[in-house]
Amino acid sequence: MAVKFSKLTRRDFITKSTLATAGMGVMSHLHASSTQNNPIGANDRINLAVIGIRGRGQSHIQNFGGMKNVHVKTLCDVDEKLYPDRIKMAEEVQGSTPGTEYDIRRVLDDKDIDAVAFATPNHWHALGSIWACQAGKHVYCEKPSSHNIWEGRKMIDAARKYNRIVQIGYQNRSRQNTNAAMKFIHEGGIGKVYMARGMCFKPRGDIGNPSNQPVPEGLHYDLWLGPAQERPFNPNYVHYNWHWHWAFGNGDTGNQGPHQFDIARWGLNKDEAPIKVASKGGYFVFDSTQETPNTQTSIFEYEDGTILEFETRGLLTNGEFGEPGRTIGNFFYGSEGVLQIDAGGNWKTWMGRDYEPGPSSEETSEEEYDAMNLLGTGGGGHFDNFIAAVRSGNPDDLTCDVEVGHRSTILPLMANVSYRVGRELRFDGLSERFVDDDEANDYLTRDYREPFIVPKRV
């Protein structure tokens, strides 16, 4: 029975939470085996390579390089112009100089490397992770876990077959305040939840129409393309604007969106896939090489009728958290109240028909969070969690195992397929295929380019 908020004060929430265990239904991983996986002792050094060092990869260098007994041995990127600055960054945080490499295959051949961290474009996530597992490396991979649904399942197969630790970069899973919000929802704090709504209101600019150009010096463009089909070099494909081209990225629905999709699914407590998806939108205002929509609304329906709605707005718009023009976060709607949570995990509630303020992260101290025995210490804690699991050899220690990440990743991927075919689709979560729709199922995978092929049998 749902907890009625009129009887659940902030003190009740803290007290009730303190008595609960940290499990709270958020660690529902489905592992093929819980066998310990060559644990590494706390005093043994873990050698790690960071693959993709332009944007998000800088956080990988700083976080992993700053950890005790973790050594960033190699920086790998297809753009050699990045090496001097990133080497200096690594030296400052770890006190030693990493090597550099532009070909991931040479990194994976290095038997001294225990783990790799991927901050590459989306189209490299699955293949790189699979190759790493096959080479005996543990993997930290940024979101979304995969570029398409089929290859995401192959990542899980590889992690299980080779018994590797694979963490997906949904950092909210390692934030105490986000865990507290999820706990509050799951324990009936806003009653019976009937809908979740995620938002990516993030105004973007015009990327223009540059012509094809010679490949810049120092860029190994063939390796950058990897699994994607060969095409002439265009500055809009690299380095950030790849997000807006289907061969490499998944638009903002599959860029910023995965974080909020993950929170929406988590709050709804749904480990199964939705049975329906409908997504509409378009690319408005600008005229550029961008292929993905800058305005998109997606609606998912679960078998029990629960609704998950997601909105992507890349143009001028209102804000919904008090910031004009920008909102990154989620709303949860229940029979007893509403919960709002922002991109940093800060949350608040309004209860009853009078919308009286209820429990929130602002009213909860660090000591009280600690008393709840919740997971996580923040965004950096997600990196810590990965290293801890590598040391224990137990994937159950992860806050976002590859299968948990896959369940959230397929949501924006489903939405984009519906958008591209222009109609509502039904989805079979067991087979991970669309029902009676060959055109939609063609988008479940891609035509891979030799030798960058995700194998059918990993």
Determine the pLDDT at residue 322.
82
Instruction: Tell me what pLDDT residue 390 has.
Output: 97
| pLDDT for 28 beyond 80 | no
pLDDT of residue 118: 98
How many angstroms separate the CA atoms of 83 and 372, rounded? 44
Smallest Cα–Cα separation from 277: which of 442, 432, 430, 416?
Answer: 416
pLDDT of residue 19 exceeding 70, the answer is no
Q: Which residue has the tokens 């080479």?
A: 135
Tell me the β-bridge partners of 46. 70
Among positive and negative, which fits the CA dihedral 379, 121, 126, 313? positive
Give yes or no for residue 297 having a pLDDT over 60.
Answer: yes
In this structure, which amino acid lies at residue 203?
Answer: P
Per DSSP (E only), the strands in 250-388 are 276-282, 295-301, 307-313, 327-334, 337-342, 347-351, 356-357
Residue 26 has pLDDT above 70, yes or no: no
> Among the ranges 12-21, 321-330, 367-376, 409-418, which has the highest mean pLDDT value?
409-418
**Residue 324: predicted pLDDT:** 83
- Confidence (pLDDT) at 34: 34
Q: Considering the entire predicted model, what is its pTM?
A: 0.91
- Could you tell me which residues come within 8 angstroms of residue 265 by beta carbon, excluding any fewer than 6 positions away? 196, 308, 407, 408, 411
Given a contact cutoff of 8 angstroms between Cβ atoms, the answer to whether 193 and 268 are in contact is yes
Tell me: the pLDDT tens digits for 318-330? Answer: 999 987 889 999 9
Residue 185 has pLDDT above 50, yes or no: yes
C-alpha–C-alpha distance, residues 309 and 311, integer Å: 7
- According to the model, what pLDDT value does residue 103 have? 98
Distance of alpha carbon 220 from alpha carbon 179, whole angstroms: 41
Buried b (16+ CB within 10 A) or exposed e, 296-320: bbbbbbbeeebbbbbbbbbbebeee
Nearest to 273 by CA among 455, 425, 445, 454: 425
Q: What is the mean pLDDT of the chain?
A: 91
Best CA proximity match to 225, nearest among 454, 1, 448: 448
- E strands, 292-432, where? 295-301, 307-313, 327-334, 337-342, 347-351, 356-357, 425-428
Q: If you count them, how many residues does the chain have?
A: 458
Cis ω for the linkage preceding 29 (within 30 of 0)? no
- Say what the pLDDT of residue 447 is: 97
The bridge status of strand 166-168 relative to strand 193-201 is unpaired
The overall longest dimension of the chain from CA atoms, in Å, is 68
- Percent of the chain with pLDDT strictly greater than 90: 85
Task: State the amino acid at position 89 in one-letter form.
Answer: M
CA within 13 Å, CB half, 155: 33
Judge whether 55 and 61 are in contact, CB under 8 Å.
no
Segment 229-240 shows an average pLDDT of 96
Render pLDDT for 357-396 as a digit per residue (tens, 0 to 9): 999 998 766 666 666 655 555 556 999 999 999 999 999 9
Quote the percentage of the chain above a pLDDT of 70. Answer: 88
Report all structural domains of the chain as residue ranges with CATH numbers, in order of start: 46-171+382-399 (3.40.50.720), 174-206+219-224+231-377+406-444 (3.30.360.10)
